[in-house]
Amino acid sequence: MKYLLKNGIVVSGEKSEKLDVLIEGEKILQVGADLTDSDAEIMDVSGKLLFPGFIDGHTHFDLEVAETVTADDFESGTRAALAGGTTLVIDFASQDKGGHTLKEGLEKWHKKADGKCSCDYSFHMSIVEWNEETEREIQDMIDEGITSFKLYMTYPAMIVNDCDLYKIIKKLNECGCFAGVHCENAGVIDALIAEAKAEGRLGPENHPLVRPDTMEAEAVHRLLAIAKEAGAPVMVVHLTNEKAYREIMKAREEGQTVYAETCPQYLLLEDSVYSRPDFEGAKFVCAPPIRKKKDQDCLWKALANGDIQTVATDQCSFTMEQKALGKKDFTKIPGGLPGVQTRGTLLYTYGVREGKITQEQMCKLLSENPAKLYGVYPRKGVIAPGSDADIVVFDPKKEDVISAKTHLYNTDNNPFEGFALHGGIEKVFLRGNLAVEDGKVVKEKLGTYIYRGKNQM
């Protein structure tokens, strides 16, 4: 199948240009002015922005959390992602504790995802135990197309100690790979939780109090000190606050390579959401928690000046019935929010339209930078001849309001309920397939597993 997109504005990380785009099969054949092709189906996309398909480097589909499993699996989750312009998700496969291998973890995640995805997919690998066997397996993972890893400084089932953290990031660097790290100080958070419980403070409004910004910043500081000693690059995932941001900037001033990711919930929501009545605060329980207005302002500035490389979602969704597992004890509320469907439209509405970032920066944050970081550039992340024909046709004039009544998640709640959207997804091409038309998913389960190369940033 051939398509010729006429008169759209092609957006890259550097510029926006009125150009035609010719798609043949799965690839972009030509990008230029006044293209013609008598065999192609012609689509007039005047007035529309053409972004390279968005890449979400942080999703959790079909994940067991707090004695339940996320409401969205790879089927519903990638359908929602595609409707939101995301053509590649990178989910977190995980090793299990107790002598299990990375290979077992990878097989488990392939079983969850293969044949079910409506957008392309790949995996990072979470390492939760470090021994000689795990060390040998790093090369096996690279051979399987996994070049980025995840480490946790919190959560009993996932945490690695500082000794292993040092060894792992050093080894990953030797292999040309890096880890994204969840930075929160586990010990102090446990102590703060114990204090809250002893005082009978058991509602969701306590969630941000037991996971304060200082304890995220402490973990970022410690990670970066360890990374300095190891001589290794690292990524701070889901960065939420100004104190932690400053730690990153200090390490960079000393010459370290540190990448940073944030998420829409940290840019657009404030911690007062946890005090909403009737247990509504539970909807927003995620880790790290949502912070304050000053932190939002800091993150937006960091996006504008390039200090944060990507905006992902940390998609991890639950119904209110699932959230009610923590009705009597906020520490039992399964943590996480949905977000894959609205990342692009929120960033456009509240970032580009409000003049906080440009559409070219949006392209870098959602497409170009994650493609480079996660080793799929220029196959993905750019509209250029030879690249996969992953294209978002974005209508800056479209208006919508986010609602759980109309979203595609398997949840009865949306953290951005009632948010107005100015600008929307009209069409999405996934490897040359017109998979979203008029904002609706019209072709499902065309997603393929993407073998990734090494970091190109």
The footprint of ligand DUC (CB under 6 A) covers: 60, 182, 286-287, 314, 316, 335-336
Helical H runs in 231-358?
A: 242-253, 264-268, 293-304, 320-323, 343-347
Q: Out of Zn ion, ligand DUC, none, which partner does residue 271 contact, by CB within 5 to 8 A per kind?
A: none
Q: Among Zn ion, ligand DUC, none, what binds residue 336 when CB lies within 5 to 8 Å by partner kind?
A: ligand DUC
* Closer CB to ligand DUC, 158 or 371, in the complex: 158
Residue 335's binding partner out of Zn ion, ligand DUC, none, with CB under 5 to 8 Å set by partner kind = ligand DUC
381's contact among ligand DUC, Zn ion, none, with CB below 5 to 8 A by partner kind, is none
Distance, in Å, from the CA atom of 353 to the CA atom of 360, rounded to the nearest integer, reads: 12
Query: Measured from the CB of residue 413, what is the shortest distance to ligand DUC in angstroms?
Result: 14
What's the DSSP call for residue 227? H
- Please name the helix (run of DSSP H) or strand (run of DSSP E) that holds residue 260, with its range, or none: strand 258-262
Residue 91 or 426: the one with the smaller Cβ distance to ligand DUC is: 91
At closest approach, how far in Å is the CB of 179 from ligand DUC?
Answer: 14
Nearer CB in complex with Zn ion: 90/363 = 90
Contact between 117 and 447 under an 8 Å Cβ cutoff? The reply is: yes
Q: What is the bridge-based pairing of β-strands 440-441 and 433-437? A: antiparallel
Alpha helices, DSSP H only, in 114-177?
132-143, 162-174
Nearer to ligand DUC, 215 or 383 (CB): 215
Query: Of the two residues 182 and 407, which places its CB atom closer to ligand DUC in the complex?
Result: 182
Residue 400 β-bridge partners: 421
Angle between helices 102-113 and 132-143 (to 10 degrees): 40
Count of residues interacting with Zn ion (CB under 5 A): 1
Choice between 413 and 433, CB closer to ligand DUC: 413
Beta bridge pairs of residue 68 = 65
Q: Which does 364 bind (CB under 5 to 8 A by kind): Zn ion, ligand DUC, none?
A: none
Contact region for Zn ion (CB under 5 A) — 194-202, 307-315, 320-328, 380-388?
307-315
85 C-beta neighbours (distance < 10 Å), count: 32
User: What, of Zn ion, ligand DUC, none, does residue 287 touch, CB below 5 to 8 Å by kind?
Assistant: ligand DUC
Q: In this complex, which beta carbon is closest to Zn ion, that of residue 211 or of residue 427?
A: 211
CB of 60 to Zn ion, least distance (A): 6
Q: 371: helix, coil or strand?
A: helix
Least Cβ distance, residue 63 to ligand DUC (angstroms): 7
Q: Which is nearer to ligand DUC, 157 or 249 (CB)?
A: 157
Q: Cα–Cα distances in Å, from 342 out to 225, 315, 379?
A: 35, 11, 24
Q: Which stretch binds Zn ion (CB under 5 A): 83-91, 133-141, 306-314, 381-389?
A: 306-314
**What distance in Å separates the CA atoms of residue 324 and residue 368, rounded to the nearest whole number?**
39
Give the amino acid at 297: D
Query: Which run of H or of E encompasses 30?
Result: strand 27-32
Q: Which residues are registered as beta bridge partners of 125?
A: 93, 149
Q: Choose one: 34-42, 46-54, 173-181, 313-321; the region binding Zn ion (CB under 5 A).
A: 313-321
CB 453 within 8 A of CB 375: yes
Alpha-carbon span 226 to 127, nearest angstrom: 17
Among 314, 368, 388, 426, binds Zn ion (CB under 5 A): 314
- In the complex, which residues of this chain contact Zn ion (CB under 5 A)? 314
